[in-house]
Structure 1
Amino acid sequence: MKNPQDAIAWAIAYDVSDDRARGRMARALEKHGVRVQGSVFEARLTQEAAAGLLQRLSRHCGPGDSLRFYALPANALARCLHRGGAPMPEDGPFWIL
């Protein structure tokens, strides 16, 4: 990511009928965000990174499948309610060692 301060919080959801394509999509998304439901991920990506990821993942979508990227406004995260599941990826640069 060029500038972590340009990252936007995204909710990414998909509905893919083919098991193999669905697995590929899930593995790709696991590299960029955290799974919060079976086919829903949260990630912090720049607009450009999200657009590129959408383009790459689209090749796994068949007729009737759906792939959605929802940009979450920064102030919306402070008002989000949740119970259980993985935490939202931290804002700003960080390293996992």
Structure 2
Amino acid sequence: MKFDLETVRGIAELAKLELTEDEIATYAGQLAHILTYFEHLQELDTSQIEPTASVLPFTNVMRKDVAQPALDPSEVIANAPDSDANQFRVSAVLPE
């Protein structure tokens, strides 16, 4: 499967990664290889395989919840690099 350079540039931009043209070309090849592998996996007949969330025989491994006092919101916001109306302010991730 082909993975074009523009797609890699778009993914890098969304992830806020600054890539060189050499890195973009390298990642395009690597991603194409990964997607080709997934195409091969999709060809497998899995009709006789039970759906599962894990191949390991886990039973409930979660601990019991224990209620504890929470931090005061003003203490939490005091640790934020930037805040607005008791909310963390972060840089935009998606383009407008």
User: How does the TM-score come out when normalised to structure 2?
Assistant: 0.25
Structure number with higher strand proportion? 1
Structure number with higher helix proportion? 2
Larger RCO of the pair (alpha carbons < 8 Å, separation 6+): 1
Structure of greater Rg: 2
User: How does the TM-score come out when normalised to structure 1?
Assistant: 0.25
